[in-house]
Amino acid sequence: MQIISDFKKDTQTEKLNPGSYEWWYFDVMSKEGYSLVIIFYDGNPFSRRYIKKIESNTETNASDFPAISISLYKDGTPIFYSFEEVNPEGAEFSETKPFGQIGDNSFEGFQEFNELSYKVVLNQKLETGDLLHGSLIFKSLNADLSEIVSSNEVPNKSEHSWNLIMANCLVECNLNLEGSVCEKIVFNGRGYHDHNTGSEPMKDSFKEWYWGRYHIENSTLIYYLMMVNGEWKKKAWLINESGSVKKLDQKIDFSNHGFNLFGLVSARTFHFEGDGIDAFIQLDHVVDSGPFYQRFFGKVIINRGEKPELADGISEYIFPSRIYSRMFWPLVNMRIKYPGKSHWVQRNHTLYRLTW
């Protein structure tokens, strides 16, 4: 995996190979109990339409399959979920500046002196009539994160690339949820933004993938673990808001594996050591669980002084080869709305909520 931290490269990249993908990830958690995860895709790696094209060796382009996913939680329970793939004419990404648009949803990044900011606009409607609309502003210092950057000057062309833009940012949220649940969602929280790119199907780059971020006081713990060619690549850092980095990769262990209804097995406990710091993460709440992907809310305990520090955060797990198993595609179809087709599950509010 190539690791970079460069605002100027938070732009659309050229994706020549079938199976290429790219996504821009934003999240925020608040003391009021709200959590939100937003992902813009240029080349949706979970799309059965895209996979069919790849497997049939039909000429295809990643940008033919743009999508957006939005997950809104309150007290750990989803209250809005949407995953929509659109036709390419309904999407736009910039190769020269941080900008993306899917339907009526968009993000745009700005740099002014030593501050980065992003505006994320949401206007997403489900076939049930539920509507989430409004905006979020992400702001952070333009911290120098060169200490986390990988040493590969010329990365392997097939290598997965991770661009960490905002490890820790302040987020102003002003959203309205209308429909079966009506709420005005206004808060100030702490958030995160990164950008991932791959030039081949994920299953060809890695077998398993763990990622998580946990905000503690003025610092953020981030870990990224990948199984590549039968070997675990393990990275973890504690990054403060000025960009100072402490590496926690002297020892990284994960254990307490569990499985879900689809037979997906993943770890629930993580231990990190380095730079005189001990950190323990326990994934105590599953908020999204499928045949190849899981999202957790968890807790971290960090020992770096006299008093242990406790914080909440988000973790994810992917087993990408399972995406290509057709036995799971009916389940995927229940979650993703494809262009030009009415979403039969999404029209039934009670049934659709069961898929959340």
Q: How far is 46 from 39, CA to CA, in rounded Å?
A: 12
Instruction: For the chain, 356 residues long, give each residue's pLDDT as a single digit of tens.
Output: 899 999 999 999 999 899 999 999 999 999 999 999 999 999 999 999 999 999 998 888 999 999 999 999 999 999 999 999 999 999 999 999 999 999 999 999 999 988 999 999 999 999 889 999 999 999 998 888 988 988 654 456 667 999 999 999 999 999 999 998 899 999 999 999 999 999 999 999 999 999 999 999 889 999 999 999 999 999 999 999 888 999 999 999 999 999 999 999 999 999 999 999 999 999 999 999 999 999 999 999 999 988 899 999 999 999 999 999 999 988 888 889 999 877 777 788 788 887 87
Q: Classify 249 as helix, strand or coil.
A: strand
Rg (CA), the chain: 19
Q: Which residues fall within 8 angstroms of residue 324, CB to CB, at 6 or more apart? A: 51, 55, 201, 203
DSSP 276: T
* H-helix or E-strand spanning residue 53: helix 48-55
Q: Is-contact 10 138, C-beta < 8 A?
A: no
- H/E element holding 213? strand 208-216
pTM: 0.96
Please give the Cα distance from 273 to 270 (Å, whole number): 10
| Strand-pair partners of 137 | 119, 172
